[in-house]
Amino acid sequence: MAPDTLTAEGVVEEFATRFAAHPTLPGVMQQPGILANAGVIELNSIGVPDAHQGKKHATAVLKILTDLCDENGLTITLIARPLPDLVPGCTPSLTAEELVSWYSRHDFEIVQPNDDTFDMIRRPVGRK
């Protein structure tokens, strides 16, 4: 790891800073659930309240995270699945298959399909 890159823990901290500084995201949604685990970033949840769905807020959040991970050479893992009642007021609007399609557009790949969920991974895309 180059001296100017962040660890996974540093990316989680920097993500929180960038999320809080974003001009609209903190006013419309809770900070997504991300954590550092053995040098990898785990994305556990993105919940957009019903009144704000369909306005690209989740895409903006994912871009902040993927840019940070690309800049620092870190991999992101997740399990694509709708999570009802995870965040109050955030009704899942996509099926697991639709989530896979959405994440795939952001360079995630399926690692393991399960009965109703999909384990996915995104390796860093080029160094910015």
Does residue 86 lie in a domain region? yes
Does residue 92 lie in a domain region? yes
In tens, the pLDDT along 32-78 reads: 999 999 999 999 998 888 889 889 999 999 999 999 999 999 999 99
In tens, the pLDDT along 1-39 reads: 556 899 999 999 999 999 999 999 999 999 999 999 999
Does residue 128 lie in a domain region? no
Does residue 3 lie in a domain region? no
SS3 42: strand
d(C-alpha 80, C-alpha 69), whole Å: 19
Confidence of residue 128 (pLDDT cuts 50, 70, 90): very low
Q: pTM (2 decimals)?
A: 0.90
Does residue 88 lie in a domain region? yes
Does residue 60 lie in a domain region? yes
Domain with 74, as residue range(s), is 8-122
d(C-alpha 75, C-alpha 8), whole Å: 9
Does residue 64 lie in a domain region? yes
Number of domains in the chain: 1
